[in-house]
Amino acid sequence: MSGKPRAARHGGVRAPDEGFSFDAKAGGELGDPDRWADSGGASTAWAKLAAALRLGLGLALVIGTSVSVAYSVRHYALTSPRFSLREVNLQGGKRVSPEQARDQAGVTLGTNVFALDTAACERKLLENPWIVQARVTRDLPRALRIEIKEREPAALAVFAERLYLVTAEGEPFKELSPGDPADFPLITGASVDGISRDRARELDRVREGLEVLALYGRVPLSKTQPAQEVHLADSGDVVLTAGKEGITFELGRDGYRRKLLMGEQVVSEMRRKGRAPGIVFLDNTAHPERVVVRMR
How many other C-beta atoms can be found within 10 angstroms of the C-beta atom of residue 215?
18
What is the total residue count of the chain? Answer: 296
pLDDT tens for each residue of the chain, 296 residues long: 444 444 444 444 454 454 444 444 444 444 555 554 455 667 787 887 777 777 777 776 667 666 654 555 454 455 566 778 999 999 998 999 999 999 999 999 999 998 899 999 999 999 999 999 999 999 988 999 999 999 999 999 998 889 999 999 998 999 999 999 999 999 999 876 766 677 788 889 999 999 999 999 999 999 999 999 999 998 999 999 999 989 999 999 999 999 999 999 999 999 999 998 999 999 999 999 999 999 98
Q: What is the residue range of 217's domain?
A: 153-295
Instruction: Clarify whether residues 117 and 140 are in a common domain.
Output: yes
CATH number of domain containing 165: 3.40.50.11690
Instruction: Clarify whether residues 289 and 164 are in a common domain.
Output: yes
What's the structural domain count of the chain? 2
Instruction: Clarify whether residues 262 and 203 are in a common domain.
Output: yes
For residue 155, what is the DSSP state? E
In a domain, 44, yes or no: no
Tell me the CA distances in angstroms from 276 to 80, 216, 231, 243, 279, one per residue in order: 75, 19, 22, 12, 10
Q: What confidence score (pLDDT) does residue 4 get? A: 46
Sign of CA dihedral 243, 248, 253, 258: negative
Instruction: Clarify whether residues 86 and 196 are in a common domain.
Output: no
